[in-house]
Structure formats: C-alpha cells, structure tokens
Amino acid sequence: MEAYELDSDALARSKLSNDYLLALTAARSVALDLRELGDVAAARELDEASFRHAREVLGNDHPLTLGLWNNLATDLRELGDVAAARELDEVGVQRACAVLGECHPITLSFRANLAADFREMGDLEAAAPLEASLKTTGPGSRWLY
C-alpha cells in the first residue's frame, strides 16, 4: 500500500510538471501497484491510457511504449482475455526484437508472456519453443538503455 501511495503522489506531481516521460513512468508504477493490490481492472484502464499516450508522444518503438504495451497485455491476460493478450504479445515480440534485440529484458518479457498465453489457451506446442528460447537467451546482448 505504501508503494501505491508514493507512486500516486509521484504521478500527481508529474502531471503538474508537464514532463510526459516522468508522467508515463509514474503511471506505469501506479498501474503495477494496482495490479499487485488486486485491482487489475483499474491497472488495465491506466495502462491502456498510458500506452495510447506513449504511442502518440514517443512512438511505437520507444522502450517505455514497449514496456507499457507489455503491461497492458499482462492486464488483459489476468482479466481473462487471453486472446487479446496473445495478439498484443505476438506483435510486441516482433517489435521489441526488431528495436531492442532478442536479449533485451522487454523482449524476453514479451516472449515469456506469449508462452503463458499459449499455455493458458492449451497450445503447449506453441509455448514450448518460446520457453526453450528463454532458457538459451543470456545477458550478453547490448541494450538500448
């Protein structure tokens, strides 16, 4: 609860500063806190709005946009909309791979989430190669940030 209160305060202060990077980062933190507190529906609303805003001001390929994209897919999966989560994760893996590289943490998170989507949908054949690729992907890559 303390993290939520701190992050909510940071979000409120960031809106006053007109610093969109700070505001988007604070909103991402508040959404993560909401998800941890069990309010996934509220997290989804905040992640969806933040993702739309990030796409407008940063574009699809900015690491913050990709991270928000990943979080929105997680919200959808946790709310039971696995098909929508899978659609976001499939495109997200492709974008993150192209922009950040195959070993970047955001790319790896998209892959892990896509494997979870397939598992929840009962498609173990599609999940297996994604899970195997996570075991062979190491920290030796160059990251953009």
Residue 64 in domain:
yes
Domain count, the chain: 1
Contact between 37 and 4 under an 8 Å Cβ cutoff? The reply is yes
The DSSP code for 62 is: S
Which pLDDT value is given to residue 142? 43
Residue 141 in domain:
no
Interior CA angle at 137 toward 133 and 140, to 5°?
165
State the Cα–Cα distance between residues 62 and 143, nearest whole angstrom. 13
Q: What average pLDDT values come out for the chain (145 residues) when binned by 10 residues?
A: 65 61 86 94 95 93 94 96 97 95 92 95 94 72 38
CATH code of residue 55:
1.25.40.10
Contact between 66 and 106 under an 8 Å Cβ cutoff? The reply is yes
**Enclosing domain of residue 120:** 2-136
Residue 82 in domain:
yes
Contact between 76 and 61 under an 8 Å Cβ cutoff? The reply is no
Residue 145 in domain:
no
Interior CA angle at 121 toward 125 and 92, to 5°?
80
Interior CA angle at 63 toward 46 and 52, to 5°?
35
Residue 125 in domain:
yes
